[in-house]
Structure 1
Amino acid sequence: MVMISSLLLRFSRRQLHTIVSKDTIKPCCPTPSHSRTYNLSLIDQTVTNGYVPIVAFYPCSTVNQNFHEKTIELKNSLRQTLNYYYPFAGRMKRTDPTNVDCSDDGVEFVEACNNNSLSDFLQQSDHKNLDQLFPNGLIWLNQNGPIQEQNINATSLISPFSVQVNHFACGGIAVATSLSHKIGDASSLLTFLKHWAAITSRSQTKIDIRPHFITNKPTTLKLSNTSHYKPPDSVSRSFVFSNTKIKELQAKVIALTMYSKEPILNPTRVEVITWLLHKCAVAAATKTKLGKFKESGIMWPINLRNKLVERLPETTIGNIVYPMTFPVSNNNGDLMPNELIGELRKRKLKFQKFQNLEAAFRLVEEMSSETFTLETAESIENCYAYSSVCGYPMYDIDFGWGKPSKVTFGGSFKNLNILTDTPDGNGIEAQVSLDENDMNIVLNDPELLAFCC
């Protein structure tokens, strides 16, 4: 009986995650009148309502202060950082916004405590346990809390950015942020986090991180209302590929395509992992759908910052991406690397012909937003999205407590696959979200397991 009570106590302690405070943090200085209206770009407006969720974990160290001191420090540095990122502290329409009112109303700052140690939380928790670390459940399209309420006023205003700081019993901390996808992509949020961390650690004099905002003209582009879209249920798992295993996979891809019409002689790490993940996911879906799964689609958001002839700063804020989408034949579950990698490369080359961002915007403007939305909805079941932030300085986000032990994305969105560098930089971690039945098959796929750590 004593043993059972002890186990129940340990189980309950692992589950205890409590919100202890909520505050609103406003910029230190008012936004100048000429910057009060931030117009969303055409690409921003085509993005479905949702939030980009990133969380960084920091173990306890001798540098760490107590919970209260760390919270005060983060709030003060956040006030300073918001001076540079004034749209983050503004307000925008709940549905189909075209601009942000940079009203300096501030961002919500939530503080929470978890009575588990950080190491135990990371080792014992399922991926879905990360959701509680984010403010108000603002994770991708799974907008729990206030945004999912019924009979809401579509013209009401919401904050595009929120923070939740999570304290663990060991002294470790997790800083979780949710940025509206309407005003920025993952690169935008990582730029913000690095800047905020630099100000907190008082190293901003060494690192010049200044956001680059693009002045967009007002537009009358009308989009379909997608605010109440409910994503299909899915589960997420992580697969880690060491650089040694990735080299073996690259060699396999070269061998498989050597005598084809389009050999892949120098595949990148991201390309070969994307091919393997897609091959395994499609094979699993074919089994669960009893062979009726004939064709899949690839959606790959290409970062335009370094692809245009007139290059943009890496610190450019906004959705500076373009979603490349193309079909991939099932081929009875035997997807050859050149069928995916070759097509991906061809489409990437087209974007290097754009002179500047305005040229890319013109392509978006030429598209019918209604047709685009319908085509996306019709193919969503068999469409797999792959996004890579490999090479981004995710592990340079140092608030003065040392580099994070882990940086990852929260939430789960069916058929979304995100590739990140491993903390030691010696491999790639793939965060894969699939239908539960498909995931059970993928977890036992011998070809995938042969290349995972």
Structure 2
Amino acid sequence: MVIISKVLRFGRKKLHTIVSRDKIKPSSPTPFHSKTYNLSLLDQIAVNSYMPIVAIYPSTNAYQSPREKTLELKNSLSKVLTHYYPFAGKMKKMGPTFVDCNDEGVEFIEACNTSSLSDFLQESVHEDLDQLFPDDRIWFKRRIKSSSDDENTSNESPFSVQVNHFACGGIAVATSLRHRIGDGSSSLNFRVDVTSHSRDVTSPIINPHFITYQPTTVKLPKSDPYIPPKKVVSKSFVFSNAKIKDLQAKVASMTMETRNPIVNPTQFEVSSWLLHKCVASAATKRISGNDTKTSVIVPLNLRNKLKEPLPTTSIGNLFYSLIFPLSNNHGDVMPDEFISQLRREKFKFKNIRLETTLGTVADRGGI
């Protein structure tokens, strides 16, 4: 493992104080024939953003100190990066077509918080979670920018990590992945490998499945660049298993006498319907006298939907955003209408070919 370390200390106290920055490189060099990783068409037209994921771990007696815990994570990260070599490379900030797998490494940041993990989770507002992530790489944000950072030519790491230590011994491990190198499944597979190997160095690493793409000469359709809204409100909702099961039973009962009875509704279906119902109802009350147009966007994992299914460990943007309007534009959308329409949209992607999806996406100009 190669670590390039630079210690930083700040006098002004924040919720999280950054104490170090490291570069974690793959434990073995990337072979010459894998130095260039071409991005697929789906990757290239993905929204230029970051995907943030945070995992929270309460304090345990397994480690004597935070340093011991961090060192184990760094070693695991270095080992797994050998298999996920594009994550440790460099790619252009704007309009990349490939990743230069130069083993430069991923940024590894450590931060400390003087409060306990439980106090932080109970007392902080949702925006406080932003500080858990490396350099504020959350969706379309990026806090740190150098003076020579030209948007068209600058290169940056596709993946970064921040480990947040709390006074009680608990930690929060936050990661940000450039969306143009992979989707949520890609990021989660990587995290599972790092976590498993950190707990048990003898555990086998899930070999990621990289699809070989030739350099594309496809001329992408011109479209206005996506401009994120100036203000986005994020909320967290916790549903207990018991409440979810009650909701599933209620939805099945409510739809029993309808034209589209919903048999065995999934947890995702019932929770999505409930959230949409609440949001649409609130919007209708806020804009009284006007029809409130509502649509639903659902990311669909294509790995197991294709005619020739891909391994679940496939790396890249292998999803499609289902976007469908609801015929009922008020807050009283019934579960049979919502879930039936969701299932119909998902069924359209059963046993299709990847080439068909690429063509559809190219015509639409994005995913």
Query: When the two structures are superposed, what TM-score results if normalisation uses the length of structure 2?
Result: 0.89
* 222-231 or 166-175: bigger deviation: 222-231
**Cα distance, 1:244–1:117 mapped onto 2, change above 3 Å:** closer
Structure 2 residue matching 1:23: 3-state secondary structure? strand
**Cα distance, 1:177–1:158 mapped onto 2, change above 3 Å:** same
**Cα distance, 1:156–1:310 mapped onto 2, change above 3 Å:** same
- Amino acid of the structure 2 residue aligned with 1:106: G
Cα deviation for residue 228 of structure 1 reads 7.6
Deviations 1:184-237 (A, max 9, x none): 11111111111112222234x344412111112222343668778343313322
Cα deviation for residue 291 of structure 1 reads 3.9
Structure 2 residue matching 1:20: 3-state secondary structure? strand
**Structure 1 residue aligned with 2:104:** 105
Identity of aligned residues (%): 54
Contact 2:50 2:178 in 1 (8 A): yes
Provide the rounded CA distance (Å) in 2 between the counterparts of 1:144 and 1:293. 39
**Structure 1 residue aligned with 2:212:** 215
- Residue 361 (str. 1) matches residue 351 (str. 2): no
1:308 to 302, 306, 309: 306
More strand by share: 1
Contact 1:160 1:179 in 2 (8 A): yes
Provide the rounded CA distance (Å) in 2 between the counterparts of 1:171 and 1:101. 38
Contact 1:22 1:110 in 2 (8 A): yes
- Residue 76 (str. 1) matches residue 75 (str. 2): yes
**Cα distance, 1:254–1:19 mapped onto 2, change above 3 Å:** same
Contact 1:89 1:160 in 2 (8 A): yes
Contact 1:96 1:223 in 2 (8 A): no
Cα deviation for residue 150 of structure 1 reads 10
Provide the rounded CA distance (Å) in 2 between the counterparts of 1:65 and 1:188. 32
Residues paired across the two proteins, number: 355
Contact 2:115 2:167 in 1 (8 A): yes
Provide the rounded CA distance (Å) in 2 between the counterparts of 1:227 and 1:83. 34
**Structure 1 residue aligned with 2:171:** 173
**Cα distance, 1:120–1:227 mapped onto 2, change above 3 Å:** farther
**Cα distance, 1:65–1:311 mapped onto 2, change above 3 Å:** farther
**Structure 1 residue aligned with 2:343:** 345
Structure 2 residue matching 1:53: 3-state secondary structure? strand
More helix by share: 1
Provide the rounded CA distance (Å) in 2 between the counterparts of 1:360 and 1:298. 20
* 262-271 or 125-134: bigger deviation: 262-271
Cα RMSD (Å): 2.4
Contact 1:49 1:226 in 2 (8 A): no
**Structure 2 residue aligned with 1:54:** 53
Deviations 1:74-113 (A, max 9, x none): 2222221111111101111111211111111111111111
**Cα distance, 1:155–1:225 mapped onto 2, change above 3 Å:** farther
Cα deviation for residue 144 of structure 1 reads 2.8
- Amino acid of the structure 2 residue aligned with 1:344: L
Provide the rounded CA distance (Å) in 2 between the counterparts of 1:181 and 1:287. 36
**Structure 2 residue aligned with 1:156:** 154
- Residue 88 (str. 1) matches residue 81 (str. 2): no
Structure 1 residue matching 2:79: 3-state secondary structure? helix
**Structure 2 residue aligned with 1:131:** 130
Query: When the two structures are superposed, what TM-score results if normalisation uses the length of structure 1?
Result: 0.73
Contact 1:195 1:210 in 2 (8 A): no
Provide the rounded CA distance (Å) in 2 between the counterparts of 1:360 and 1:113. 45
Provide the rounded CA distance (Å) in 2 between the counterparts of 1:220 and 1:188. 25
1:229 to 227, 238, 245: 227
Deviations 1:247-287 (A, max 9, x none): 33223323333333322222212111111110110111122
**Structure 1 residue aligned with 2:288:** 290
1:186 to 184, 187, 190: 184
- Amino acid of the structure 2 residue aligned with 1:70: K
Provide the rounded CA distance (Å) in 1 between the counterparts of 2:224 and 2:181. 16
Contact 1:212 1:313 in 2 (8 A): yes
**Cα distance, 1:364–1:228 mapped onto 2, change above 3 Å:** closer
**Cα distance, 1:292–1:170 mapped onto 2, change above 3 Å:** same
Contact 2:80 2:205 in 1 (8 A): no
**Cα distance, 1:200–1:150 mapped onto 2, change above 3 Å:** same
- How do 1:109-124 and structure 2 match up within 5 A? 109-124=108-123
Contact 2:260 2:340 in 1 (8 A): yes
Which consecutive residues of structure 2, in runs of 5 or more, have no partner in the other structure?
1-11
Deviations 1:420-453 (A, max 9, x none): xxxxxxxxxxxxxxxxxxxxxxxxxxxxxxxxxx
Contact 1:253 1:264 in 2 (8 A): yes
Contact 2:44 2:96 in 1 (8 A): yes
Provide the rounded CA distance (Å) in 2 between the counterparts of 1:102 and 1:223. 28
Name which structure has the greater RCO, CA cutoff 8 Å, separation 6+: 1
Cα deviation for residue 309 of structure 1 reads 2.9
**Structure 2 residue aligned with 1:424:** none
Contact 2:291 2:329 in 1 (8 A): no
Provide the rounded CA distance (Å) in 2 between the counterparts of 1:151 and 1:72. 31
* 176-185 or 218-227: bigger deviation: 218-227
Provide the rounded CA distance (Å) in 2 between the counterparts of 1:170 and 1:27. 31
Contact 1:183 1:319 in 2 (8 A): yes
**Cα distance, 1:232–1:263 mapped onto 2, change above 3 Å:** farther
Contact 1:50 1:143 in 2 (8 A): no
Contact 1:118 1:172 in 2 (8 A): yes
**Cα distance, 1:245–1:77 mapped onto 2, change above 3 Å:** closer
**Cα distance, 1:253–1:353 mapped onto 2, change above 3 Å:** same
**Cα distance, 1:179–1:224 mapped onto 2, change above 3 Å:** farther
Contact 1:294 1:329 in 2 (8 A): no
